[in-house]
């Protein structure tokens, strides 16, 4: 007579031998103390957006002002914000404890930069010693990288220019840049300012550009060794005989004179680190390829050592298989039982 | 003019044109004239850029011609450090060694039982472990074992093993500094430093102390806070203060008096070399001199005990002490005069 057991769900048999689970409490404690993961998918997406990437997308700008601002400065800050509406954050409250050029006065800036994920900042302040002062700075890893301090003179806002509204440039379009003057190459401060202005107004780095969407130009002219004339113009493309249209510039946006006051260049080591490009992106030299005049392109192939001894087989050799091992181990114990049953059958 | 045009530095990737050779011979007095001059010059520069831009191969699109831009030539600094490549996970290493390819699985699988398409995972899935109503017993089953319970425990073990592996992979990645962006280490998630915090290894003692420090801010000093499994009771490095009872019980004697006496004695003992107790000094001197005389007498009596007249040992001592008692001087001078008198 053979035995058949039906284990119906819910009917618990006595003496269930369960393996004690590895201390879940310990793992839980470890997790609580060390690892923090976002609880919602949205938070996870936000964190991934802020993570460092191989190829960088676009820098965000933080616009804020200090203890005192003048009318001119207010207008400048709002206009810069309008020019960069897509990727800028403007703080409206005053910040008394920010002094970018002092060693202790940057912590607040760095904190804001971390919270808003902005790597460029424009800080405006007005004082008797430095009237209409604008500090444009960049951060690397949310620490101050470099700073340029400019004073603003002869400011003309966007509203003061009259032009045909149809050609007004749209927000987020990729701008042209025109740098005029030998000062931008010879004078160190102007060179720095050129780099910073380019970074500030560049927008995203794109691989493909739609030529119909080109409509703004930033014109920077080095008038003297410390003064730069900065203006923003709209583009009008006029028909010409060739494929290339004729460019026409119409002054549209804010126009101001930037007088360079102070500047701070980045540390050499920091600069080196910030300018690093991912090694995967650099073009690799093709190795083991040579050209022959007669045959053409020749390649050398080096066959690596086939470690036949260490290779793992896709299948398991017969003796190693678990079923076989188990059956063998149990075979000795079951042998007697089977024999007994057989005898019984024989009897029956 | 042609020379000037060739001198323009054009960066197509950034749509920039730079004229390094331009010099202002004379700056116009009026600002408007200056601006006009700048704009006319800029127009020339932009035209040069546009020439090279429009000559790139373009593909037609609904909105306009699209042109592939080259890489910008002016290098600008990054805003965040380069991400480090993460080390391969345990599974990836194994799969590479075995040559296992990752096959994309479909979300829906055909279920023969209900002959419908069911999800591979999630709600109402194919081959759900919990849905099985009957499990047939095998010959290898022991009689006392609940197969449903074993299934549940096996699943739990599998889940725990996977969690352990996940933590191991994260730990390995954290060692290199390549944690996935959505995972943060709680100890280093402080807002002061940037994304790459200096990974200062917090020691076990420090971590325990932090929890204790937080506890001291509670009303009962962290004594009754719920402890996690494995957390040790808070350390108490300082002394425990003893406060006397308000109401004295019988049988002890005045505790307060004892406490103050103790303190007083300690103070006195510290400064005892400054306080001179005359009677005590005298007693001490007497004892000392007695001992000395006994030793000397012992020596001399060994030589000729019969010859010498036994003097009363106390006679001289009293004489000496009276002398000493008279003069309030220190023991040393007394001993010197004593020697003389002998």
Whether residue B271 lies inside any domain: the answer is no
Distance CA A291, CA A308 (A): 35
Whether residue B112 lies inside any domain: the answer is yes
Give the nearest partner residue to A111 out of B21, B42, B191, using CB atoms.
B191
Per-residue pLDDT tens over the stretch A299-335:
999 988 888 887 777 787 777 778 778 888 888 766 6
Task: Provide the residue range defining the domain that includes B33.
Answer: 4-66
Across chain B, how many H-helices and E-strands are there?
9, 8
**Which pTM value belongs to this model?**
0.63
pLDDT of amino acid A128:
95
**Which residue of A21, A136, A177 is the best one to mutate when testing the B interface, meaning the one whose CB has the most B CBs within 10 A?**
A177
Given an 8 Å threshold on Cβ–Cβ distance, is B98 in contact with A233? no
Per-residue pLDDT tens over the stretch B264-275:
998 888 877 777
| pLDDT tier for residue B326 given thresholds of 50, 70 and 90 | very low
Distance CA A313, CA A335 (A): 33
Question: Which residue in A78, A96, A72, A194 sits closest to A136, CA to CA?
Answer: A194
Tally A–B CB contacts below 8 A: 284
SS3 B22: coil
Choose from A26-40, A193-207, A292-306, B14-28 the range with maximum mean pLDDT. Answer: A193-207
Distance CA B202, CA A235 (A): 58
Tell whether B69 lies on the interface with A, counting CB pairs under 8 A. yes
**A61-274 homologous superfamily:** Brix domain (3.40.50.10480)
Residues 6+ apart with CB under 8 A from B188: B197, B199, B200
pLDDT of amino acid A344:
52
Whether residue B303 lies inside any domain: the answer is no
Question: Which residue in A137, A138, A139, A135 sits closest to A150, CA to CA?
Answer: A135
Question: Which residue in B45, B18, B65, B14 sits closest to A175, CA to CA?
Answer: B14
Whether residue B39 lies inside any domain: the answer is yes
Please give the torsion angle defined by the CA atoms of residues A25, A31, A32 and A33, in that order, rounded to the nearest 10 degrees: 110
Distance CA B312, CA B310 (A): 6
Q: What are phi and psi of A136, to 5 degrees?
A: -105, 125
Per-residue pLDDT tens over the stretch B24-71:
777 777 888 888 989 999 999 999 999 888 888 888 888 888 999 998
**Which residue of A14, A26, A237, A247 is the best one to mutate when testing the B interface, meaning the one whose CB has the most B CBs within 10 A?**
A247
What whole-number percentage of chain B has pLDDT above 70? 80
Whether residue B256 lies inside any domain: the answer is no
ipTM comes to 0.71
Q: Do A71 and A77 contact (CB within 8 A), yes or no?
A: no
Per-residue pLDDT tens over the stretch B137-147:
888 878 888 88
List CB contacts (< 8 A) between A31 and chain B: 167
Average model confidence (pLDDT) for chain A? 83
**Which residue of A10, A221, A267 is the best one to mutate when testing the B interface, meaning the one whose CB has the most B CBs within 10 A?**
A221
Whether residue B109 lies inside any domain: the answer is yes
Distance CA A252, CA A162 (A): 8
Given an 8 Å threshold on Cβ–Cβ distance, is B79 in contact with A59? yes
Give the nearest partner residue to A29 out of B64, B183, B230, using CB atoms.
B230
List CB contacts (< 8 A) between A7 and chain B: 134-135, 137, 146-148
CA angle B131/B135/B137 to nearest 5° reads 170
pLDDT of amino acid B328:
46
**Which residue of B5, B31, B42, B67 is the best one to mutate when testing the A interface, meaning the one whose CB has the most A CBs within 10 A?**
B42
pLDDT of A23 higher than 60:
no
Question: Which residue in B40, B43, B35, B36 sits closest to B17, CA to CA?
Answer: B43
Question: Would you tell me how many other CB atoms lie within 10 Å of the CB of residue B236?
Answer: 10
To the nearest whole Å, the CA of A82 is away from the closest chain B CA by 21
Out of A134-148, A268-282, B97-111, B239-253, least confident range: B239-253
Per-residue pLDDT tens over the stretch B149-182:
999 999 999 999 999 999 999 989 988 888 888 8
pLDDT of amino acid A316:
77
Whether residue B197 lies inside any domain: the answer is no
Query: Could you tell me the two tokens for A282?
Result: 């650099």
CA A36, distance to chain mean position in Å, is 21
- The structural domain count of chain B equals 2
Given an 8 Å threshold on Cβ–Cβ distance, is A275 in contact with B230? no
Residues 6+ apart with CB under 8 A from B302: none
pLDDT of B323 higher than 60:
no
**Mean pLDDT computed over A226-247:** 89
* Boundaries of every domain in chain A: 2-50, 61-274
Given an 8 Å threshold on Cβ–Cβ distance, is A211 in contact with B64? yes
pLDDT of amino acid A221:
93
Distance CA A100, CA A147 (A): 8
Place of tokens 């001592």: B317
Given an 8 Å threshold on Cβ–Cβ distance, is A211 in contact with B58? yes
Give the nearest partner residue to A182 out of B21, B38, B58, using CB atoms.
B21
CA A61, distance to chain mean position in Å, is 14
Given an 8 Å threshold on Cβ–Cβ distance, is A52 in contact with B80? yes
pLDDT of B341 higher than 50:
no
Given an 8 Å threshold on Cβ–Cβ distance, is A221 in contact with B65? no
Given an 8 Å threshold on Cβ–Cβ distance, is B144 in contact with A4? no
pLDDT of amino acid A339:
54
Whether residues B57 and B99 fall in one domain: no
């Amino acid at each position: 007579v053979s035995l058949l057991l039906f284990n119906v769900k819910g009917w618990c048999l006595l003496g269930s031998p369960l393996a004690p689970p590895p201390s879940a409490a310990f793992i839980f404690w470890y997790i609580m103390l060390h690892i923090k993961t976002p609880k919602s998918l949205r938070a996870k997406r936000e964190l991934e957006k802020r993570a460092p990437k191989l190829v960088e997308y676009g820098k965000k700008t933080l616009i804020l002002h200090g203890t005192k601002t003048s009318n001119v400065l207010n207008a400048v800050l709002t206009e810069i914000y309008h020019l960069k509406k897509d990727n800028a954050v403007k703080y409206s409250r005053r910040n008394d404890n920010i002094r970018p050029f002092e060693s202790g006065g940057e912590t607040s800036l760095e904190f804001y930069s971390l919270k808003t994920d902005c790597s460029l900042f424009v800080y405006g302040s007005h004082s008797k010693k430095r009237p209409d002062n604008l500090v444009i700075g960049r951060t690397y890893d949310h620490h101050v990288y470099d700073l340029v301090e400019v004073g603003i003179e002869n400011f003309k806002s966007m509203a003061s220019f009259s032009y045909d509204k149809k050609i007004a440039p749209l927000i987020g379009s990729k701008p042209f840049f025109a740098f005029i003057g030998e000062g931008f190459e010879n004078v160190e401060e102007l060179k720095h300012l050129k780099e910073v202005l380019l970074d500030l107004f560049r927008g995203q780095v794109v691989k493909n550009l739609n030529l119909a969407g080109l409509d703004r130009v930033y014109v920077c002219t080095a008038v003297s060794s410390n003064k730069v004339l900065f203006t923003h113009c709209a583009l009008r493309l006029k028909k010409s005989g060739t494929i290339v249209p004729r460019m026409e510039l119409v002054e549209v946006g804010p126009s101001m004179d930037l007088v360079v006051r102070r500047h701070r260049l980045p540390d050499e080591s920091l600069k080196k680190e910030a300018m690093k490009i991912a090694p995967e992106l650099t073009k690799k030299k093709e190795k083991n390829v040579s050209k022959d005049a007669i045959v053409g392109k020749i390649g050398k192939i080096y066959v690596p050592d086939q470690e036949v001894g260490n290779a793992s087989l896709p299948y398991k050799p017969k003796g190693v298989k678990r079923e076989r091992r188990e059956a063998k181990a149990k075979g000795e114990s079951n042998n007697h039982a089977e024999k007994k049953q057989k005898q019984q059958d024989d009897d029956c | 003019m042609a020379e000037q045009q060739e001198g323009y530095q054009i960066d197509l990737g950034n749509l920039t044109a730079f004229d390094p050779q331009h010099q202002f011979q004379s700056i116009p007095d009026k600002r408007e004239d200056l601006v006009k001059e700048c704009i006319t010059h800029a127009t020339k520069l932009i035209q040069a850029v546009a020439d090279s831009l429009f000559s790139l191969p373009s593909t037609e699109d609904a909105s306009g011609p699209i042109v592939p831009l080259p890489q910008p030539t002016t290098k600008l600094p990054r805003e965040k450090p380069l991400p480090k490549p993460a080390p391969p996970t345990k599974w990836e290493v194994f799969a590479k060694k075995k040559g296992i390819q990752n096959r994309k699985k479909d979300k829906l699988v055909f279920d023969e039982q209900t002959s419908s398409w069911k999800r591979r995972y999630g709600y109402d899935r194919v081959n759900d472990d919990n849905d099985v109503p009957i499990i047939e017993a095998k010959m290898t089953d022991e009689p006392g074992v609940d197969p449903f319970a074993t299934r549940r425990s096996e699943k739990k073990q599998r889940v725990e093993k996977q969690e352990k592996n996940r933590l191991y992979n994260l730990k390995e990645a954290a060692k290199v500094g390549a944690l996935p962006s959505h995972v943060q280490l709680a100890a280093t998630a402080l807002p002061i430093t940037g994304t790459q915090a200096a990974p200062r290894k917090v020691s076990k003692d420090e971590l325990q102390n932090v929890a204790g420090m937080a506890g001291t801010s509670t009303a009962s000093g962290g004594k009754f806070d719920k402890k996690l499994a494995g957390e040790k009771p808070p350390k108490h490095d300082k002394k425990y203060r003893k406060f006397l009872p308000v109401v004295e019980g019988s049988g002890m004697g005045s505790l307060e008096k004892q406490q103050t006496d103790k303190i007083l004695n300690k103070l006195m003992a510290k400064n005892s070399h400054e306080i001179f107790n005359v009677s005590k000094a005298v007693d001490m001197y007497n004892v000392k001199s007695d001992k000395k005389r006994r030793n000397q007498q012992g020596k001399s009596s060994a030589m000729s005990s019969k010859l010498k007249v036994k003097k009363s040992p106390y006679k001289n001592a009293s004489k000496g002490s009276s002398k000493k008692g008279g003069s309030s001087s220190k023991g040393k001078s007394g001993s010197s005069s004593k020697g003389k008198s002998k």
